[in-house]
Chains A and B, each alone.
Chain A
Amino acid sequence: MGHSPAQLAHGKLIRFFDQLGKFGILLSRVFRAFSDFPTYRHLIVGQMKTIGMESLPVVVLTSIFVGMVASIQTAYQLRGRVPLYFTGSAVGKMIFLEVGPVTTAFVLSGRVGASIAAQLGTMKITEQIDALESMALNAMAYLVVPRVVAGMVMLPVLIIFTDAIGIAGSWLTAVLSAGISSHDFFKGLQMFFLPMDVIGGLIKAFFFGLTVTLVPSFYGFNTTGGAEGVGRATTNAVVVCCLSILVLDYIIAAIIL
C-alpha cells in the first residue's frame, strides 16, 4: 500500500532533522578534535596544497571568464543609459562581493567537496576509519580537521586570486570588446570602491571554506553501502554544498551589508 503525501512529507521531515542532528554531532566532534593538534599538524600543509594550490588552475580559468562575462553584461545593460565608466564600478562590486566568492566556492564544491566525500566515503566502507580509531587515533582530528583548516585558510587566498584575475579579465574585455578605455574602467572601479567590498568577500570565503570541507566530510563519514553508497554520498555532498553556499551567501550579505 502506498504512503499518503502527508506521510511522505512527515518521513522526509524526520530524515531532515535526523541528518541535521547528526551534522550537529559531527560539528561538535570536529570542534573538540581541534585540541588534538599533534595528530593533524603535519597534515595541514598537504591539505592546503590539495585544496588551494591544486585548485588554482581551475579557479584562474573560471575567474577570467566570470570577469569577462561580467564586463560584457554590465556594459550591455548600461550602454545608452549611464556613462560606461560605471561598468568598472558595477563589475568591481559584483566580483569582490558576490560572483568571485560564490563562483569559487561552487568550483571548489565540485573539485574539493566531491573528492573529500569520495575519499572519506571509501575509507568508511572499507573500514579504514574504524582502523584509524582502533589505533587510538582520533579520526576527526586526522581526517577532517586538516581539511577544514586548509579550507578556511585557502579559500580566502583563492578569492584574492579570483578578485585580481576576475578584474583583469573584465578590464581586458571592457577595453577590447566593449569600447571602454582603461582610464574609464579604472576610474569607475575606484569611484565606489569600499575596502568592505573585499573584506566582505573574504568573510564569505572563510565560511564557504568551512562549508566545502565540513559538508562533504559529513557525507563521507556517514556513507553506507558499497560503490553506490560512495556515489550517493558524493552527489549529496556537492548538491548540499552548493545549496548551503547560496543560503550562507544570503545570510552573510544580510548581516554585513
Chain B
Amino acid sequence: MVEIKGVFKSFEGKSVLSGVDLQVQRGETMVVIGRSGCGKTVLLKLIIGLLKPDHGSILIDGIDIVRVKYKKLLELRKRMAMLFQGAALFDSLTVEENVGLALRRHSGLPEEEIKDRIRQCLAMVELEGTGHLMPAELSGGMKKRVAIARAIAMGPGIVLYDEPTTGLDPITAQNIVSLIADLQNRISATSIVVTHDLSVAYQIGQRIAMLHDGRIRFVGSPEQIKTSEDEIIKHFVSGGSI
C-alpha cells in the first residue's frame, strides 16, 4: 500500500505540491491526471525516493521512505519499478542487458535462469528476439515496451508509470495501454499511472485522482469523475481551459 500524507514540494521557491494526500491500496491501479506541469511526475519521483519532499511523509507498506537511510531506500526500491516518460533505456547497453541489469545485480539467480526470465519479460511485451538490439535501433513504441519489460523483470509489488503513451501514435499508444492493462492482470502489482490523457485513465484506472494547484482535487472511479459537478474537473474532462 502507498500512503502519501501532507506532501509539500517546491523548486527554487516555486511551489509544485502543496499538501498532497493520497492512498493507493495494494493491487489497485490508481491513475493520477492533471494538466502538464502540475507536478504529476514529481509525485512519482517522490514515491520512489528520487526526490525528497519539503514536508510530509510517504509510506510504502508502512515504511516512511522520506526518513529511511539510503541503503534501506535501495532495499525498498527492489520492490518497486518505474517506467519513465522517455523510456530512459541505458543507451550503452543492449535490450537484453537493459532488462537484465537489476536481475543480474539483485536476484542472485544463475545466468541461465536470468536469461530465461529476460526472454519471458520480452515475450510479455511482444519483443521476442530483440535482445541483441541497441536502444538506438528501436522505435518509440518498442523503447516503451522494453522499458516496461525492464520494469517488471524483478516482479515488483509497485509499478509507477510516467506518461506511458506520450509521444506515441494512437495505435501504438493503444497497444501500450492494452499491455499495461494485461500486465496488471498478470502481475497484480499496485500501479500508479500518471497521465494527462483521459482515455488512458478511463481504460486502466480503477480509481482516478486529479492533481490541481498542488493538491489532490478529486479521487474516485472513472464513472464518478465523468459525472462530477466540480467546475474544474468538468472543464478538464470536457477538454476546456481551467
Highest count of chain B CB atoms <10 Å: which of A38, A130, A138: A130
Number of interface residues of B (CB under 8 A): 25
Closest to A129 in B: B88
B106 touches A130 (CB 8 A): no
Which residues of B lie under 8 Å from residue A127 when comparing CB positions?
84-86, 88
B91 touches A133 (CB 8 A): no
B88 touches A135 (CB 8 A): no
How far apart are the CA atoms of A39 and B75 in the complex, in Å?
14
- Nearest-neighbour CB distance to chain B for A16, whole angstroms, equals 18
A126 at the interface (CB under 8 A from B): yes
A131 touches B105 (CB 8 A): no
Which residues of B lie under 8 Å from residue A136 when comparing CB positions?
74-75, 77-78, 102, 105-106
A134 touches B105 (CB 8 A): no
- Nearest-neighbour CB distance to chain B for A11, whole angstroms, equals 14
Which residues of A lie under 8 Å from residue B150 when comparing CB positions?
135
Chain A 206-257 interface residues, beta-carbon cutoff 8 Å to B: none
Closest to B49 in A: A133
A137 touches B101 (CB 8 A): yes
B91 contact from A128, A130, A134, A135, Cβ within 8 A: A128
Which residues of A lie under 8 Å from residue B90 when comparing CB positions?
123, 128, 131-132
- Nearest-neighbour CB distance to chain B for A35, whole angstroms, equals 10
Which residues of B lie under 8 Å from residue A38 when comparing CB positions?
105
Closest to B76 in A: A136
A135 touches B84 (CB 8 A): no
Which residues of A lie under 8 Å from residue B16 when comparing CB positions?
none
Which residues of A lie under 8 Å from residue B86 when comparing CB positions?
126-127
How far apart are the CA atoms of A127 and B86 in the complex, in Å?
8
Closest to B162 in A: A127
Which residues of A lie under 8 Å from residue B217 when comparing CB positions?
none
Chain A 23-51 interface residues, beta-carbon cutoff 8 Å to B: 32, 38-39
Which residues of A lie under 8 Å from residue B48 when comparing CB positions?
134
Closest to A132 in B: B90
B77 contact from A39, A122, A126, A134, Cβ within 8 A: A134
B65 at the interface (CB under 8 A from A): no
Which residues of B lie under 8 Å from residue A32 when comparing CB positions?
70
B84 touches A137 (CB 8 A): no
How far apart are the CA atoms of A132 and B70 in the complex, in Å?
14
B50 at the interface (CB under 8 A from A): yes
Which residues of A lie under 8 Å from residue B84 when comparing CB positions?
127, 130-131, 134
Nearest first, the 8 A-B pairs at minimum CB distance are A131-B88, A136-B77, A127-B88, A135-B102, A134-B82, A136-B78, A136-B74, A127-B84
Sample of 7 further A-B pairs with CB below 8 A, known A134-B81, A135-B77, A136-B77 = A127-B84, A127-B86, A128-B90, A133-B77, A134-B84, A136-B102, A137-B74
By a beta-carbon cutoff of 8 Å, the part of chain A in contact with chain B is: 32, 38-39, 122-123, 126-128, 130-138
By a beta-carbon cutoff of 8 Å, the part of chain B in contact with chain A is: 45, 48-50, 70, 74-75, 77-78, 80-82, 84-86, 88-91, 101-102, 105-106, 150, 154
